[in-house]
Amino acid sequence: MKVLKFGGTSVGSAARIKGLLDIVNPSERQIVVLSAVAGTTNALVEIGQAYSAGKKDEAKDLIKQHKDKYEDLIKELFNTEAGYKNGKELIDYHFNLISSLANELFTPIEEKIILAQGELLSTTLWHFYLNEIGVSSVLLPALDFMKIDEDNEPMVEYIGEKLGHILAQYPDNSLFITQGYICRNSFGEIDNLRRGGSDYTASLIGAAIRADEVQIWTDIDGMHNNDPRVVKGTTPIAHLSFDEAAELAYFGAKILHPQSVFPAQKYNVPVRLLNTMEPNAKGTLISKDGAQKGCIRAIAAKDGITAIHIHSSRMLLAYGFLRRVFEIFERYKTPIDMITTSEVAVSLTIDDTTNLTDIIKEVEDFGTVTVDGEQTIVCVVGDFGLNSHGYAARVLDAVKHLPVRMISYGGSDFNVSILLNSDHKTEALRSLHNRLF
């Protein structure tokens, strides 16, 4: 069995929803994971924010605006009166549910209920459309089997057991549809896998049922060797290893959510990145044996980085110093991206500044602290193992004309990362591309 995930742009209009059948073969046993229709999640976030701020009239206007878009969508999607009636009743139900939350005490629980409506709409609308044209499908509510534990970690074995039991009830069906992104938490409440979570859903399902392959369908023909938005002449990469793909996804390759690599890697389920707009393009295959020795594969950049530099004479010959510093970030649940150290200083980077003020206040107990915002990590992925020679020098030579804030090399066999001011990102990407490719 395969798992196919389609993102918001792939279901962004009635024509594209209908066009899914150009890719999905109803006779092949598969699970199709759908994101919300393009623009829906952002609209639902705005509605939730209005409710949180007590702006019920603003929320009411936003709900009407977005419901009107779905009214237009179903007029194009369905060709029969019965089909349109089903679609109309569906959107009425979901938007009435959202409207009813104006009468509730609005908490994060209600916010997550609102955010779940996008995927519930997109999957049911496609299921209804397939029924209208006589294509058999089974709608699998993700809330029946997708679950996270008290640490917000997916329960892969639970997912596999529950989903396996559900699938066994439909031995004669081949096409199954479910929602990306949404799940239940350890209390049984509606929750989600955060942004990009539909990729994660597909990977988790693939891992849980030991799928033959997970396919991530987007609007890009695979993972490119640089950012095509700012660099000319980029090309898709035919084959990557799980480790290489994880590095690129984490450090800025937008086509794939970083977390989605790990379940597939753990259970050795290949992941293929494909283009809905060009279904015949080869895309990128990610598997355990995708690494190539003696070459550089790709470049990615991650914006929104904050650098923190701690200078302290107490570091000199002191054991336990770094542990005490890192414990501060752990308490505030703030991940660290890059780290460099010297005898009397440590520099590190974070991308979540939610608790930055409190973190800095505690870190200042250890020494002098300098904070630089608006930074970018540029990551070069390739063969940087013990037996490779000269690649790190080529990377640094390509950016020698730019002021580099930090360099991370040696922590991974697949990655050299540099930190610089975000103003220099485009120049760094282009210069690296010209020098390395």
Neighbour count for residue 291 (Cβ, 10 Å): 20
pLDDT number for residue 127: 98
pLDDT number for residue 342: 83
Query: Do the domains spanning 2-218 and 297-436 agree at the CATH topology level?
Result: no
C-alpha distances out from residue 48 to 63, 69, 220, 381, 403, Å: 10, 18, 30, 39, 42
Which amino acids are annotated as binding site for ATP, given as ranges?
A: 5-8, 218-219, 229
Least confident of 41-45, 211-215, 220-224, 376-380: 220-224
Q: Which helix (H) or strand (E) holds 91?
A: helix 81-100
Torsion of CA 64, 69, 75, 78, to 10 degrees: -110
297-436: CATH topology: VC0802-like (3.30.2130)
Tens-digit pLDDT profile for residues 27-48: 999 999 999 999 999 999 999 9
pLDDT number for residue 255: 76
**Reported pTM:** 0.87
Does pLDDT of 317 surpass 70? no
Does pLDDT of 316 surpass 70? no
Tens-digit pLDDT profile for residues 250-276: 887 667 877 888 899 999 999 999 998
Q: pLDDT category, 209, cuts 50, 70, 90? A: very high
Tens-digit pLDDT profile for residues 113-171: 999 999 999 999 999 999 999 999 999 999 999 999 998 899 999 999 999 999 999 99
Neighbour count for residue 364 (Cβ, 10 Å): 11
Which amino acids are annotated as binding site, given as ranges?
A: 5-8, 41, 119, 218-219, 229
User: Cα(30)–Cα(22) distance, rounded to whole angstroms?
Assistant: 15
Which amino acids are annotated as binding site for substrate, given as ranges?
A: 41, 119
Task: Write phi, then psi, for 223 (nearest 5 degrees).
Answer: -80, 125
Domain ranges of the chain: 2-218, 297-436
Does pLDDT of 185 surpass 90? yes
Q: What is the CATH number of domain 2-218?
A: 3.40.1160.10
pLDDT number for residue 225: 92
Q: Which residues of 164-174 are buried (b: 16+ CB within 10 A; e: fewer)?
A: eebbeeeeeee
Average pLDDT of the residues of the chain: 92
Does pLDDT of 386 surpass 70? no
Amino acid at 411: G
